[in-house]
Structure 1
Amino acid sequence: MALPDGCSVTSSVEDQEDEEAPLLQKQAEQLTVHPQCCSARYNLAFMMFLGFAVVYGLRVNLSVAMVAMVNTTGTQPLLNASESKECPASSTTSNSSIENPDQPDGVPRYPWNPQTQGVLLGAFFFGYLFTQIPGGYLSGRCGGSKFLGGGVLCTAVLTILTPLAAELGVNWLFALRALEGFGEGVTFPAMMAMWACWAPPLERARLMTISGAGGNFGAFIAFPLTGFICHSLGWPAVFYCCGGAGCLWAVLWFLMVSDEPHAHPRISDQEREYIINSIGSEGGSHGWSVPLLSMVRSGPLWAIIITQMCSNWSYYTLLTSLPTFMDTVLHFDLRQNAFLSAIPYLGGWLFSVLSGVFADKLLEREILSVTAVRKIFTFAGLIIPAGLLVAVGFSGCSGILAVTFLTLSTTLGGISAAGVFINQIDIAPQYGH
């Protein structure tokens, strides 16, 4: 059995919500589950995991490298010493981390003030914003593997050019980072488009959290590794290493991955039939038509949009600005900064994967409905981390308290991976990207 060519739209968002329960019941009672170990769908999840690890390495490298790129002795503070509310620097960090992080001879440094640094760190999201919807639409029509692999490859090539852009000037670096965001904006929608074809309903949470957890794992690895490379080889080497890793992954991706199970050259017949039969007619692309009116009028869709927006706001703010906070407010040196900035994402990685496995177990054993599972994981993964972020604001100049609250917030935020970030595939698989 194969998915029909073009995968025409057969139901609206509301119709697909109503069909959710029978589909899960059919899989649980009638289908023989194909083994997970070494299966094509879990190999795809692992490749996505590595891909998003690379994506987040490409995304956060500037956040740490910025500490080494800026010659802070040449910048003017926003306030004079008597008006500043920053925490006082300790004697062990005042010389090494604030004024002049060590760099090899000949590595350029730039007199960028805090406003310029903020603009450069935010430039990525100017481009990222504009390709989310077009990337999702085209991925659903043309296949997600091309857009996911192409987005990472383009971003990796641009990352290698970062030192050159910095040398040419702030405007060039801003444009380059915006183009990187433009390329990466298609990656998550492309992932959703692929899982609409690949993820059986009762394995949906674990497959998507495994692949998406690559982001947290990539941040966890990238922060300390970037700090080490900056200190040992100079900040330009960070962009060459990250860009090279992205190019290598893209080559492996295009060689090993297919958009849909029936097109995969190395999948077993048993697994192909299991995936296609369990997903049914809901799998595959949406064609050229999209039920925009039904989407605009869908309450569940707006709930997903609002909660994802709130979650992403806090997550990306920390991802972009945490190293700067560690440097300018808490005054950790370059290597401490990189290590402490990474700790929260280790917990986020572990909790996101565990939450996916636990959510699927609740569904397999019919303990809770899909709706209840998604609501519980979304609520716990947003409310508790939000309270802990508020606590950071009251931690004063205590580095221990600040790092503890930040770590707990990002760690427990991983719980939401089995909630709101999967829910769009539940209610409308063909349009979830």
Structure 2
Amino acid sequence: MSCSTESIDTAPPVDEDDCEPLVPSKTVPPRCCSARLNLAVLMFLGLTVVYGLRVNLNVAMVAMVNNTNPPPATNSSNSSKHMCPLPGTNHTRTGFSQPDGAPVYSWDTETQGWLLGALFFGYLCTLIPGGYLAGHYGGTKFLGFGVLGTAALTLVTPLAAQWGPSWLFALRALEGFTQGVLHPSTMTIWARWAPPLERSRLMSFSGSGGIFGALLTLPLTSFICETLGWPAVFYLCGGAGCVWAVFWFALVSDDPHTHKRISKEEREYIIKSIGPQGKGHGWTVPLRSMVTSLPLWAIIIGQICANWGFYTLLNSTTAYMSNILHYDLESNGILSALPYLGGWLLSSLSGVVADLLIERRVFSVTVTRKIFTALGMMLPSLFLVCVCYVGCSHIWTVLFLTLSTTTGGACYAGVYMNLIDIAPRYSGFLLGVSLTFASISGAVAPIAAGYLTEDDSLDGWRRVFWLAAGIQTSGAVFYTIFSSGNLQKWAMTDEDRGEAEKRRTRSMCT
């Protein structure tokens, strides 16, 4: 089927893989200093703060339990631990110190695994209702209060830790409860703000705030732990979230119609290019059609598998650097953050490249999403397997962990934004559904890693990395076979159906 040569400003056509929207014939309002770009920057900073609040415990945990005296390395081939020698020419570890008065706890690896996974038990509770309500009312308030609530709870983390691991588990689960509305809200916001030919770059840039938050927080947390003590980590991160919320509520609006500082040209461009899909979905959703939609299940399965690999690295890298490679806390924070530098850069770049491929009609939306998802899941799996076979080589281990997280950033232009292609109006609700399934990975991955590595052996860590690689590869294959980038019939409005019929008629005539 050949494509019409006319210019259009509407959403992608339905069930026409070879036909994608062309560049609008009208001049696109400048992106620099535009309302949509300002929204992307604020959302980027918000997700940076949120992921800082989410991962600060990962590094702080090393200081909180203070595992500075690992068993001595052994050269015996019959050793069950296969521990690595200490880094440095003299094989001595500098260790780290905290200011006097910083509490230290005796939590085993299983307890640490449960604490690191606790957030996701609360997270699961609000994903679907948060996405549903955000899709009906708009996402800005849900996103703002989600960050503010998490920040406020983070401020009392030292007190909860002092009361015991059960209290800290409950607090982290409650933080997850407040965070569950965040990602569905961002999807709902972009369904009303992102023109189809700018979706990849706007969403990948703003979404990369999560990776940037990990990149910034990991070394910063290490520095704060050593200079101010680990409790200061939670006070500073929580305070940053409260400050961000003030700017968010003052500067954003749910859609272009209600924004007070947007230009008339930009408002008309966004509204016309998004069309009827830029409205709320009302109180009803086509659940039966959603349940039987294979492209939707491809996204859900893909996100489950991608999240397993991401959270395996997010929650386990610092422990691996500390307990196996024996890096001190300062080096641990810097090296653990290094992979996220590459991931942040590639996730932002992938959005720009994906938009260019679609805009210039090199590939359809469907093919573009499949390519970036396959690259973002298969390559990280390959590099995780490589980590299993470099033994105690510090250089090669850091290199392959960095490459694994870096290449995973390609998923941001693939499976992570595919929902807004197939069902923009319902994307917030559907993201809540998909993340409910995918967040099981976030809860189970660190717990599984804790049990598999309870003896801190290289063999145990190999099982962790092999498991993550296998799950990611399986998800990439399933997604590549069954996914789609086309607006689904069950997600169409009456206006969409009318426009689709007009396009078919014009195509038949040409």
TM-score by length of 2: 0.77
**3-state SS of paired residue (1:131):** helix
SS of the aligned residue for 1:36 comes to: coil
Q: Which amino acid aligns with 1:84?
A: K
User: In the alignment, which residue of structure 2 is the partner of 1:347?
Assistant: 342
Q: CA deviation at 1:23?
A: 7.5
Task: Note if 1:267 corresponds to 2:262.
Answer: yes
Distance 1:75 1:177 in 2: 28
Aligned-partner Cα distance in 1 for 2:332–2:19: 51
Q: Residue 85 of structure 1 corresponds to which residue in structure 2? A: 82
Q: Which runs of 5+ in 1 are unaligned?
A: 1-14
**2:398 paired with 1:403:** yes
Cross-structure match for 2:279: 284
SS in structure 1 at match of 2:425 = helix
Distance 1:397 1:61 in 2: 26
**CA apart distance, 1:73:** 7.3
Find the aligned partners of 2:91 and 2:338 in 1 and give their Cα distance.
20
Alignment of 1:79-118 (within 5 A): 83-90=80-87, 95-97=93-95, 101-118=96-113
Contact 1:128–1:182 (Cα < 8 Å) also in 2? yes
Conserved? CA contact 1:153–1:246, under 8 Å: yes
Which range moves more in the overlay, 318-327 or 244-253? 318-327
Q: Tell me, yes or no, if the aligned pair for 2:380 and 2:404 is still in contact at 8 Å.
A: yes
Counting aligned pairs with the same residue, the percent is 61
Give me the whole-angstrom Cα distance separating, in 2, the residues matched to 1:39 and 1:280.
Answer: 20
Structure 2 stretches lacking a partner, 5+ long: 1-11, 73-77, 429-510
Structure 2 residue 172 is the aligned partner of structure 1 residue 194: no
1:323-342 equivalent positions in 2, closer than 5 A: 323-342=318-337
Q: How much does 1:284 deviate? A: 2.2
Deviation at 1:142, TM superposition (A): 1.6
Distance 2:304 2:91 in 1: 37
Give 1:311's aligned residue.
306
Indicate conservation of the 8 Å contact 2:70/2:323, yes or no.
Answer: no
1:108, CA displacement in angstroms? 1.0
1:340-360: CA deviations, max 9, x gaps? 000000000100111100111
Normalising by structure 1, we get a TM-score of: 0.91
Residue type of the alignment partner of 1:306: I
AA at the equivalent of 2:389: F
* 1:430 aligned counterpart, secondary structure: coil
2:128 equivalent to 1:141: no
CA distance in 2, matches of 1:23, 1:263: 29
**1:388–1:409 CA contact under 8 A, matched in 2:** yes
Residue 167 (str. 1) matches residue 129 (str. 2): no
Say yes or no: does 1:388 pair with 2:380: no
Q: Give the superposition deviation at 1:21.
A: 7.8
Q: What corresponds to 1:231 in structure 2?
A: 226
Distance 1:330 1:51 in 2: 33
SS across alignment from 1:126: helix
Could you tell me how far apart the structure 1 residues matched to 2:205 and 2:91 are? 38
Q: CA deviation at 1:373?
A: 0.9
| 1:154 and 1:180 in contact (8 A); partners too | yes
Counterpart for residue 297 of structure 2 = 302
Q: Is the 8 A contact 2:93 2:327 kept in 1?
A: no
Cα offsets for 1:301-342 (capped at 9, x unmatched) = 111111111111111121122111111111100000000000
Tell me the number of residue pairs that the alignment of Structure 1 and Structure 2 aligns.
411
